[in-house]
A and B are shown apart, each in its own frame.
Chain A
């Protein structure tokens, strides 16, 4: 009799224990599949006493593997070679011809040209890496996406609170842009305008952007006229820090971010007709400190489905990583404390060709 009772109690205890184990996770683990995101190299950035990354804002990688990182404390860009050796500081804070007030959203156009979006001066700055000076300052109508170039033409998407998001085009690197069609809802009701980065990508004659409330990926032509669309899953926010409930208890958070959707902030063309979408699940702690996690989703127009959805790994799970993508390689800027020092590394991940 005693033995039979034990047979029932044991599974019950195991179930309770399993339940307790599960309760430690505030949200479901997002690393459903890491098999196709393979880490293959890590480069430690060798900073200097007078040139270190205090607060990163944007990461760009050139074709020859050099790294460009915006530092928001000093309002300048730090350049490192492919091995992580510090090369130079680009610009400095100010309103002068070679200075920046709010640098962000870097793009490397070619071996000699870096584009810096200076949101506070409302300019896209084309910086020549050889002459070490700004060679053009393109006026911007407001917050924009990063500047991208396709077939010698420059494009960006600009937030327009009245009409949606406008497509902008410069046929030459000077003067005001032509206004193309409006992309509805890229910015509407979304905090992406805070980041100043509408998720838009251009490749060849194709433009890629989110539509609706980020429920569709829209493929458009170079005149921004939609040609095709691909439904993407609405992703609820995941990766909320475990102590967030405590924050709510103290009245330190105004709104419940768990009820909101994941924030799309980046789009990239991958090989084989696939696209990488970046989501940001972030939380504002006490008004100014922002913590969060980034997720990458790969979708394919051929498969019309979500193929992988992975957490972009970092040492500090609450630190928002800076990301860049070149071909099928994902670069992640990771900053963390080790012993008494702070380390900045660029981790390289290969997105497998078998995905999608």
Chain B
């Protein structure tokens, strides 16, 4: 059995080798460039979330201590940004995030980046978890690349993930917050 964490999920390139080779690398370079430009633009729009929130961390390995810290705070709502193709129960941290939300009286929601298949939707429902689909509009590179966790604590928003460039005014975050209600 494979042990997967959010850190490793973030680095995941799938089970099978990529068939496109150097073309893929060139495409990846373009994506990185676009992400960098996107980051610059996002920086102009609002303060980066990681700077604003002292608890926020881009290192998923620190999740456990963050969860322990958050456990002592007020009601929190947690949104897991996920693609339906990633294994939910492979993440060792998932249950801890769910427990954090439930123990504080808050909600836990899975925000899928695309419509799940019938089987995937059934599997999530069997886990008694709620989900919504927050698509990346107009094919743009999202400010939150799954897998990532957003924690809403009052007016604060904390993000945990590998590739997060979201800011407080991120539309994706706002849609996730609305979906919680």
Contact = CB atoms under 8 A, between A and B. Distances in A.
27 contacts: A50-B102, A55-B89, A55-B123, A55-B126, A72-B89, A73-B88, A73-B89, A73-B94, A93-B92, A119-B1, A120-B1, A143-B1, A196-B1, A243-B118, A286-B84, A286-B117, A287-B85, A288-B85, A289-B117, A289-B119, A291-B119, A316-B122, A318-B119, A335-B126, A337-B126, A342-B125, A342-B126
A307 interface: no
Contacts of A187: none
Contacts of A318: 119
Given A254-B16, A288-B86, A101 B3 contact: yes
A54 B119 contact: no
Main secondary structure of the interface of A (DSSP, over half): loop
Main secondary structure of the interface of B (DSSP, over half): loop
A289 B1 contact: no
A52 B128 contact: yes
Interface in A121-169: 143
A289 B126 contact: no
Contacts of B1: 102, 104, 119-120, 143, 194, 196
Contact of A73 (B3, B14, B16, B95): B95
A192 to B, nearest CB: 13
A72 B128 CA distance: 13
B41 interface: no
Contacts of B123: 55, 289
Interface of A: 50, 52, 54-55, 72-75, 93, 101-102, 104, 119-120, 143, 194, 196, 243, 254, 285-289, 291, 316, 318-319, 335, 337, 342
A75 B126 contact: no
Nearest to A341: B128
Contacts of B126: 54-55, 335, 337, 342
A337 B128 CA distance: 10
Most buried by B among A74, A194, A335: A74
A342 B14 contact: no
B88 to A, nearest CB: 8
Interface of B: 1, 3, 14-16, 84-90, 92, 94-96, 98, 102, 117-120, 122-123, 125-129
Contacts of B117: 285-286, 289
Contacts of B15: 287
B120 A286 contact: yes
A143 B1 CA distance: 8
Contact of A120 (B3, B14, B95): B3
B120 A289 contact: yes
B36 to A, nearest CB: 29
B94 A288 contact: no
Contacts of A319: 122
A337 B92 contact: no
A110 B119 CA distance: 37
A142 B149 CA distance: 33
Most buried by A among B15, B88, B94, B117: B117
Most buried by A among B85, B89, B90: B89
B3 A54 contact: no
Nearest to B123: A289
A285 B120 contact: yes
Contacts of A75: 92, 95
A43 to B, nearest CB: 19
A52 B126 CA distance: 10
Contacts of B127: 54-55, 73
